[in-house]
Structure 1
Amino acid sequence: MAAPLLSLYRRFIRWPAGNWLFSRAVCFKAPYFASISPTITRLEPGRCEGVIRQRRRISNHIGTVHAIAMCNLAELVAGVMVDATLPVDMRWIPKGMEVKYQAKALGVLKAVATPALPIVSATAGYDLPVEVSVTDAAGNEVFHATIAMWVSPRPSRTG
């Protein structure tokens, strides 16, 4: 059985503008991400891709995409990927992020999130590093993040 978020994505992408609608639904659930107007373009177990396009409101004083906008994109695609991949008996939360700004970020930026370790069900919590690469339209990596996720069992609902 697919994770609920992955099932939702699969339903949405059948429609015209399905990726855009799915992305709006994610931003409705986590409103802060709407500030970068992201679009999730691909979602499957172990991989999420998303894009943002450069606009004035996410640009900095030197005319490039602001570093924090890229951090937001990285956290979004990492979280969506983990949520869509985790077994239903597990939950996650980000613990930290290490970032590297590689080059000036201009135009449309594509982020790809993949887990550094297999995502599994477990009886105890574990650290899960997620790698996120952000590239420009030419395929040059402009930003890289390693996001530390804490994955743990959901509390049992007995009682």
Structure 2
Amino acid sequence: MAFSNNITRAMRPFQALPESLRQRAISMIFGRVVPFVGTSALLYEEISETRVIVSIKNRRKVQNHIKSVHAAAMALLAETASGFVVGVNLPDDKMPLIKTLKVDYVRRSSGDLRAVATLTQADINRIRNEPKGEVLVPVVVTDATGEQPVNCEMLWAWTSKKRK
């Protein structure tokens, strides 16, 4: 039996939709769950147990004073992709928590941005089976030129939803 949790079950009804409609529907739903994500209009392009791809368009609502994607929006993009790849693997009785969000800005971005967050099978096994723990999630953010305007490290933890 395939792994299932609240996130994967919420996505299931949209699997039969064409890709562009599925992406928009899933993005809208999760944008309502996390309002800041919805305000930024992040688009969930791909969601699997090993990889999540999230993008953001360079539009006025998320721009800085030089008309590129704002630094905080870049961090949000990386945090969202990395958190989601953890979230799709987390049992329903656990909750993800960001522990460290490190973003080094190395160059001006150009155009739209895309974040790709990945997990190894070993990471997935730990997330699904250990009662609590943490994982450093690799996430690569690229702009329209294919370059990386930021280098990111996202350390995620998981713990029980019930407080002792």
Whether the TM-score (by the shorter chain) exceeds 0.5 is yes
- Which amino acid in structure 2 is aligned with residue 97 of structure 1? L
Give the TM-score of the pair, scaled to structure 2: 0.84
Corresponding residue to 1:127 among 124, 130, 134 = 134
Cα drift, residue 30 of structure 1: 0.8
Q: For 1:15 and 1:47, how far apart are their aligned partners in 2? A: 20
- Conservation of the 8 A alpha-carbon contact between 2:5 and 2:92: yes
CA root-mean-square deviation: 2.0
Q: For 1:140 and 1:41, how far apart are their aligned partners in 2? A: 19
Number of residue pairs matched? Answer: 155
Cα drift, residue 66 of structure 1: 0.7
- Structure 1 or 2: larger helix share? 2
Matches for 1:68-147 after TM superposition, within 5 Å? 68-115=72-119, 118-119=123-124, 120=126, 121-123=129-131, 125-147=132-154
Corresponding residue to 1:28 among 16, 29, 32 = 32
- Which amino acid in structure 2 is aligned with residue 107 of structure 1? G
Cα drift, residue 7 of structure 1: 3.5
Q: For 1:30 and 1:75, how far apart are their aligned partners in 2? A: 12
- Structure 1 or 2: larger strand share? 1
Structure 1: 4+ residue segments shifted above 4 A: none
Q: For 2:65 and 2:112, how far apart are their aligned partners in 1? A: 18
- Which amino acid in structure 1 is aligned with residue 159 of structure 2? S
- Which amino acid in structure 2 is aligned with residue 84 of structure 1? V
Identify which range, 40-49 or 135-144, moves more after superposition.
135-144
- Conservation of the 8 A alpha-carbon contact between 1:81 and 1:113: yes
How high is the sequence identity, in percent, across the aligned residues?
27
Cross-structure match for 1:66: 70
Give the TM-score of the pair, scaled to structure 1: 0.86
- Which amino acid in structure 1 is aligned with residue 123 of structure 2? P
Cα drift, residue 154 of structure 1: 4.3
Corresponding residue to 1:4 among 3, 6, 28 = 6
- Structure 2 gaps of 5+ residues are none
- Which amino acid in structure 2 is aligned with residue 14 of structure 1? A
- Structure 1 gaps of 5+ residues are none
